[in-house]
Amino acid sequence: MTSSILDQVRSIASDLFGVPVDRIVAESSPEMIEAWDSTQHLNFVLALEEKFGLQLSPEEMEQMRNVGEAARLVETKLQKASR
């Protein structure tokens, strides 16, 4: 995974969940961040869609169990889109 995508995803998560970006790591998950509930998870997905210009399915949304997985999914989708 490129660090640039992970960093951008961390930055989005930081803004959305109100947690300093240096405390958001790839393993950060709803279990570790109090503000990350199911509604905020949808907000997170919508923010990723807007930032990276892609559309995520509900099934992909469910797969994003932490920040790293979200970044990996975004990267995969961007690679597929560029092919």
Partner 1 sequence: MPIVIQPYREEHQPAVQEFNRRLQSGGAELDLIFFRFAQPRWLPPAEGAKLYQRYFVALENGVVRGGYALKQQDFFFADGITRTVAYYHHPLSEGIVNKSYAAVGSMLLKDAMNRSPLLYCLGMGGYDRPLPKMLARLGWAHFLVPFYFHVARPNRFFKEMQALHTSPSRRLLLNLAAFTGTGWAGVKTIQGLRKLRAPKLTPFTVEKIEDFSDWVDPLWEQAKNHYAMTAVRDCQTLRTLYPASDTHFTRLRVRRSGRDIGWAVVGERRKDEKYGAMRVGSIVDCWASPDDALPVMQAASAALVDNGVDLIVSNQSHRLWARALEHAGFLHSPSNFIFAAGKKLSALLQPFAETQSRIHFTRADGDGLPRNF
Tell the smallest beta-carbon distance from residue 8 to partner 1 (Å): 20
Among 56, 67, 71, 74, binds partner 1 (CB under 8 A): 56
Alpha-carbon torsion 17, 67, 65, 70, what sign? positive
Q: Which stretch binds partner 1 (CB under 8 A): 1-9, 15-23, 49-57, 66-74?
A: 49-57
Residue placing its CB nearer to partner 1 in the complex, 26 or 30: 30
Tell the smallest beta-carbon distance from residue 61 to partner 1 (Å): 6
Q: How many beta carbons lie within 10 A of that of residue 7, not counting itself?
A: 13
Q: What CA–CA distance (Å, rounded) separates 24 from 12? A: 10
CA 46 to chain centre: 9
